[in-house]
Amino acid sequence: MTTITLKPDLTRQIEHFAGTNQTQKDAFIDKAVRQYIAQIRRDKIRAETESFTAQYETLLSHYLHQYVALHNGQVIDHDPDLRALHLRVFARLGNTPVLLKQVTHSSDRELIFRSPRLETNAT
């Protein structure tokens, strides 16, 4: 277990909000840090998606029908097999957020929308 020292004002706030929510301080901190990390991961993937869009024409000319791995705005690997690409990227970077996306012509995409239909018994 790792010990982390917090500033007194932050400690008081944690104690206050943990008490208000009837939560143990450790559980409160754990949840807060996990949410913060999740937000960082979402922001990273959003930035990589923007990089993908900005580089789309270049990606299209080099990696058509392949999956690319974008990290810090750069293609770090590519493969026609998503699983093989994922395994290599994970071996190299661990849990670091990396965008894995297939490069296709927009007309190659098939979108299927499933929508529930409510049926009523008319009596």
Which pLDDT score is estimated for 106? 75
CA-CA-CA-CA dihedral for 98, 41, 46, 90, to nearest 10? 10
- What's the predicted TM-score (pTM) here? 0.75
- Which tens digit of pLDDT belongs to each residue from 63-97? 999 999 999 999 999 999 999 999 999 999 999 99
Which pLDDT score is estimated for 118? 64
Angle at 9 between CA 7 and CA 10, to 5 degrees: 65
CA-CA-CA-CA dihedral for 116, 106, 45, 80, to nearest 10? 100
- Which tens digit of pLDDT belongs to each residue from 99-115? 999 999 875 555 555 66
Average pLDDT, the chain: 88
Choice between 22 and 4, residue whose per-residue pLDDT is larger: 4
Task: Go through 81-106 and write b for each residue having 16 or more CB atoms within 10 A of its CB, e for each that does not.
Answer: eeeebbeebeeeeeeebbbbbebeee
Give the other-Cβ count within 10 Å of 116's Cβ: 5
Separation between Cα atoms, residue 69 and residue 73, nearest integer Å: 10
- Check whether 7 has a pLDDT greater than 90: yes
